[in-house]
Amino acid sequence: MELKEIFGSLPFGISSFEAVKHMLFECAAKKRLPENAKSIITVLFPYYLGEEYYENSNISRYAVSADYHITASEMLNKFTQKLKCLYPENSFEAFIDNSPLPEVFCAVNAGLGVFGKNRLFINEEYGSWVFLGEIVTDREFDIQNKEISLCSGCNKCIEACPTRALGENGVNKDLCLSHLSQKKGELSEEVIQKMAQYNCAWGCDICQKSCPMNKLAKVTPIKEFFETARPTVKAGDPVEGRAFAWRGQKTIDRNINAINYNNP
Ligand code: B12
Ligand code: SF4
Ligand code: SF4
């Protein structure tokens, strides 16, 4: 069996663990890294559904389909099982988002696309509308770490950011609407106004929507993302299985009520 058969239509690439060894995040998942890790297989999970799905949406695109922490993790775990059968002498561990790996860097280093000024990974076919997952292994695959490629640098994302959170040095988390919409506690009037203006109760897509590299993005080949799509959320809708479930009912309801109050 070839690696391609394992991942089907999903793009994947391999980079060395050595390249990120000094960049690991401290998190609970770090202890799952295989001892003597050698290679990282990064897998892309495209999630763009087509503009028609987002016409009346009041949440960020990444949260429209069922929670990727569950759906993409399940796919990644199946790939990991197949790899374990193929190479029983090696260890394989899957990570997604809650990962000690700098995922954007891994995807760029594996040659899957470019590093955008919006600090996101951008693939030629699917744009930045992709989740990133990794399988780390002590198996030494034939690795050629790729040259780090950057986007065109047109600055459209920086100009479009409504809170000036984005700059040459990265994202200022304290100004980023994506972060602020996920924070507990009271929202400032200024943040509520911005969320209402862009009708987005969870996350923020503005720096991605403004990016020319996303203009011709292909829709996802993952059927489950279409089948589970729910682009609009009402206060009180159950949060189970949604990307905002980890934060609980109160936070998403707070955001929806704030937006509705300002956009009656
Ligand atoms: C914490 C976090 C956030 C925080 C902070 C983000 C930040 N950049 O500071 C908040 C809540 C704001 C956030 C928001 C979003 N996030 Co986020 N986030 C993460 C998480 C869990 C860790 C990243 C981190 O800690 N960054 C903090 C510092 C170090 O960030 P930084 O200085 O920008 O550096 C990062 C990259 O820019 C890159 N990098 C830095 N320097 C260089 C230099 C080169 C040459 C290269 C190639 C890379 C590189 O590596 C660093 C680590 O990721 C990752 C998952 C992961 N484990 O990597 C997902 C992740 C980056 N997020 C993701 C997504 C989808 C988003 C949102 C688009 C969600 C939304 N629609 O609201 C927004 C986009 C905001 C933005 N423009 O970045 C995806 C990105 C997919 C992609 N195509 O790139 C990831 C990979 C999760 C996943 N598994 O899919 N996020
Ligand atoms: S996610 Fe929104 S607020 Fe955050 S950097 Fe991008 S455009 Fe700015
Ligand atoms: S908008 Fe321009 S500068 Fe920003 S990520 Fe896209 S190509 Fe790069």
238 within a domain of the structure (yes/no): no
**Geometric angle at alpha carbon 38, from 118 and 34, rounded to 5°:** 95
264 within a domain of the structure (yes/no): no
The alpha carbon of 119 and the centre of ligand 1 are apart by a number of angstroms equal to 6
Burial string for 179-198 (b: 16+ CB within 10 Å, else e) reads ebbbeeeebeeebbebbbeb
- To test the pocket of ligand 3, the residue of 130, 151, 206, 214 to mutate (highest count of ligand atoms within 8 Å of its CB) is 151
Q: What's the pLDDT at 144? A: 73
The alpha carbon of 208 and the centre of ligand 2 are apart by a number of angstroms equal to 8
Q: What's the pLDDT at 261? A: 84
78 within a domain of the structure (yes/no): yes
171 lines ligand 2 (CB under 6 A): yes
- For the four alpha carbons of 130, 134, 135 and 138, in that order, the dihedral sign comes to positive
Q: Whose CA is nearest to atom 6 of ligand 2?
A: 207
221 within a domain of the structure (yes/no): no
pLDDT along the chain (264 residues), means of 10: 91 96 97 97 98 97 98 98 97 98 97 97 98 98 84 97 94 97 94 95 98 98 98 97 96 95 78
What ligand 3 atom has the least distance to the C-alpha of 155? 3
144 within a domain of the structure (yes/no): no
Q: Which ligand is nearest to the CA of 63?
A: 1
The domain tally of the chain equals 1
181 lines ligand 2 (CB under 6 A): no
From CA 6, how far away is CA 135, in angstroms rounded?
Answer: 12
123 lines ligand 2 (CB under 6 A): no
Domain, as residue range, for 18: 3-49+64-137
32 within a domain of the structure (yes/no): yes
Q: Whose CA is nearest to atom 32 of ligand 1?
A: 170
| pTM tops 0.95 | yes
- Two tokens, residue 240: 């189970």
- To test the pocket of ligand 2, the residue of 61, 164, 207, 209 to mutate (highest count of ligand atoms within 8 Å of its CB) is 207
SS3 labels along the chain: CCHHHHHCCCCEEEEECHHHHHHCCCCHHHHHCCCCCCEEEEEEEECCCCHHHHCCCCCCHHHCCCCHHHHHHHHHHHHHHHHHHHCCCCCEEEEECCCCCCHHHHHHHCCCCEECCCCCEEECCCECCEEEEEEEECCCCCCCCCCCCECCCCCHHHHHCCCCCEECCEECHHHCHHHHHHCCCCCCHHHHHHHHHCCCCCCCCHHHHCCHHHCCCCCCCCHHHHHCCCCCCCCCCCCCCCCCHHHCHHHHHHHHHHHHHHCC
Q: Are 116 and 154 in contact (CB under 8 A)?
A: no
Q: What's the pLDDT at 146? A: 76
191 lines ligand 2 (CB under 6 A): no
188 within a domain of the structure (yes/no): no
From CA 66, how far away is CA 228, in angstroms rounded?
Answer: 5
112 within a domain of the structure (yes/no): yes
The alpha carbon of 188 and the centre of ligand 2 are apart by a number of angstroms equal to 17
The alpha carbon of 226 and the centre of ligand 2 are apart by a number of angstroms equal to 25
Around ligand 3, the residues with Cβ closer than 6 Å are: 116-118, 151-157, 210-213
Which residues have a catalytic role annotated?
97
